[in-house]
Amino acid sequence: MSEIICGNVTQTAKEYFQVNLTTTIEGIADSTQATVDFGGNGTVQYDTKSNFDSSNDAYLLDSSSGVYLISFAIAICSDAINTEVIMDAGAQVEVATDGSTFTGLFGGSYRPNDSVNGAGGSVQLAGTYIYKATTATTKLRLTVIADTVSSDTYELRRIVNENMQGLQFSTTTAHGSYFSVVRIA
């Protein structure tokens, strides 16, 4: 419900959510899809409707017909960044309109291999998407997958500097991994 006051739109029932990864998640098995464990390794920064379920790392949309702006970023790297073993990496926001059966909605991927099978050490994937809810049980979550050389493991890093090896910002606590949902209509 909105009203216009002096040309500005104010919303009486604002909905916005953001969770930031605050602890590195290590040891994810090669070529294994994993739901990002924001519940155990993150901190909810905003949750105006208290709709984040930390046990399944999913956010329940508050409206069955609302329009949402969904954003994510995830920093994926080799467990030992010096070995540079990421061959493929991907992240996707998944949706479950029935509240439990998730399917990919949008995301991003990275394939650094060249003709001699060179591999990268880290990547940050990010995206933004507009989504219109259709049911009262719609949930969203973020999943990742990475293929490494020699079946190594991979991890998810929390801040930008942790995903860089040679260069570093002189001071930063900039979140490199997060998930946010904002109702825009």
Segment 100-153, tens digit of pLDDT: 999 999 999 888 765 455 667 788 899 999 999 999 999 999 999 998 877 788
Question: Which residue reads 């994926």 in tokens?
Answer: 76
Residue 111 lies in a domain: yes
How many CB atoms within 10 Å of residue 1? 6
Res 19 pLDDT > 70 = yes
Q: How far apart are CA 147 and CA 110, in angstroms?
A: 10
Q: How many domains does the chain have?
A: 1
Which one, of 45, 13, 3, 15, lies nearest residue 182 by Cα?
Answer: 15
Segment 36-66, tens digit of pLDDT: 999 999 999 999 999 999 999 999 999 999 9
The model's pTM is 0.86
**In CATH, what number is assigned to the domain containing residue 80?**
2.60.120.40
pLDDT at 162: 77
Residue 1 lies in a domain: no
Residue 5 lies in a domain: no
> 3-state DSSP call for residue 94?
strand
Residue 120 lies in a domain: yes
Domain that includes residue 41, residue range:
15-183
Query: Higher-confidence residue: 79 or 165?
Result: 79
Residue 98 lies in a domain: yes
Residue 8 lies in a domain: no
pLDDT at 160: 80
Residue 97 lies in a domain: yes
Q: How far apart are CA 90 and CA 92, in angstroms?
A: 7
Q: How far apart are CA 60 and CA 51, in angstroms?
A: 5
Q: How far apart are CA 126 and CA 50, in angstroms?
A: 24
Mean pLDDT score of the chain = 86
